[in-house]
Structure 1
């Protein structure tokens, strides 16, 4: 089961209500390079409430990529730029993917 951050002590009903108002589940990307090795990874999942900015959650991943992503050749700069772009536009919204997977596991049939 993936880790979901920023969910605090919300109940399932409260999460559902927030999702109806426009909340979303988001992942951020980061890049770390060491000479010829470059690692492009995704963060844990963050629950972003309706109207909440993703900036405070994406900032650490932006800084991590800026500091450690460039140094791998040849893919470091490319993956760093992609990670920065993704994070600056608010991360990757995986709400539908996560809810679909959850519905599948709830019913046990996938239907």
Structure 2
């Protein structure tokens, strides 16, 4: 009946809204974690220049390599690239993070005209090549 179809459409709409809300919350959380890491670097600059400091149980030196990935998200005429937090290459599992960001890009990146397909391909290539890698020394230099 018509009301069963309306009910199914409402449930589907709610599920899609919940998924997109979760994606939005996740990327906001990643942004906060990236800012927190940069603030931690600024606070511990002296210790890092003297040798090392501990961050979330990981030994960090000026030579420590960190990596960021991107996800591309599109909706009609809006396309954005959203960066991940900084992953410590030796202490986190950046391989899985890169694959997760690529999966989100494959699912949600294509749908914007005209930039969706272009940014999606750029993002996938960057992620599959290991993300955007920097040393802690490079990050400190930019703070």
Q: TM-score of the superposition, structure 1-length normalised? A: 0.71
Q: Check the 8 A contact 2:68/2:84 in 1, yes or no.
A: yes
**Partner SS for 1:2:** helix
Aligned residue pairs, count: 92
RMSD value, Cα: 2.3
Structure 1 residue ranges without an equivalent (≥5): 103-111
Q: Which has the higher contact order (CA 8 A, sep 6+)?
A: 1
Q: Does 1:9 align with 2:52?
A: no
Name stretches of at least 5 consecutive residues in structure 2 with no aligned partner: 1-33, 38-54
Counterpart for residue 103 of structure 2: 63
User: CA separation in 2, counterparts of 1:72 and 1:100?
Assistant: 35
For residue 27 of structure 1, report the CA deviation from its aligned partner: 0.9
- Structure 1 or 2, whichever has the larger Rg, is 2
Tell me the residue number matched to 1:79.
Answer: 119
Structure whose residues are more often helix by fraction = 2
Contact 2:87 2:93 in 1 (8 A): no
Deviations 1:45-74 (A, max 9, x none): 111118x86321211100000000000011
